[in-house]
Chain A
Amino acid sequence: MNWYQVNEHPLDPMALYEGVRHRNVGAVVLFIGTVREMTGEKQTELLEYEAYVPMAEKMLQQIADEITMRWPGTLTAVHHRIGRLDIMEEAVVIATSSAHRADAYEANRYAIERIKEIVPIWKREHWTDGTEWMGDQKEQRPGRPKGVMT
């Protein structure tokens, strides 16, 4: 299994689960981001994801490295799908594993928040009344995203 992967293939959450397991793991947290139909009053018909793939995969690896520094021994695998996705399809899977549950939970939440800050992937909403490239969901400032290691 590739641990950090961005491509158009449908996601297989169990592959990531198997990837982060080993004999001294006592907790695996699996986050699955799925395509939602209703956002308030707005209705999504489908989502379209685009990525700068080589850099996106490199940034996913960087997030996993950050997690290793914050929660030693915690393993992280992330697959993100791109292309056109229908309602209820999986867009992202994040698997984290650790000896005890607290680290795996915290690391998993950290991973999705960092993805929304530094990984060059863009979502285009196809609403019932038009399309829109999403961005600025975390109100970033221009320049280098916060917390990027140099």
Chain B
Amino acid sequence: MIEVLCFAHVAEELKTRSYTMTAPITIAVLRTDLTARGVTGAERLMFAVNERYETDAYVVHDGDTVAVIPMVSGG
């Protein structure tokens, strides 16, 4: 299993701050799944695996923590 962390508009749209998925899974599939769950603008989301940015082809494995990262707006 992997844990998926949600923030900002994604957490609000999903009404949760985390959920689990079965591994192995690519970030591309996680992105598609987010659209299916009703998240808007999933094509623009970024993803981090174990606190490091990764791209669509990356394969997430058991025990990894994935963070769904909307466009950042700090500062």
Contact = CB atoms under 8 A, between A and B. Distances in A.
Interface of A: 33, 49-52, 54-56, 58, 80, 91-92, 112, 115-124, 133-137, 140, 142-145, 148
Taking residues whose C-beta sits less than 8 angstroms from the other chain, chain B's interface range is 20 to 34
Contact of B53 (A91, A112, A122, A144): A144
Nearest to A49: B74
Interface of chain A: mostly helix, strand, loop or mixed: mixed
Nearest to A132: B9
Given A54-B51, A144-B53, A117 B72 contact: yes
A118 B48 CA distance: 11
B31 to A, nearest CB: 8
The residue among B8, B9, B46, B75 with the most chain A CB atoms within 10 A of its own CB is B75
The residue among B45, B53, B71, B74 with the most chain A CB atoms within 10 A of its own CB is B74
Contact of A136 (B7, B48, B71, B75): B71
B44 A118 contact: no
A21 to B, nearest CB: 24
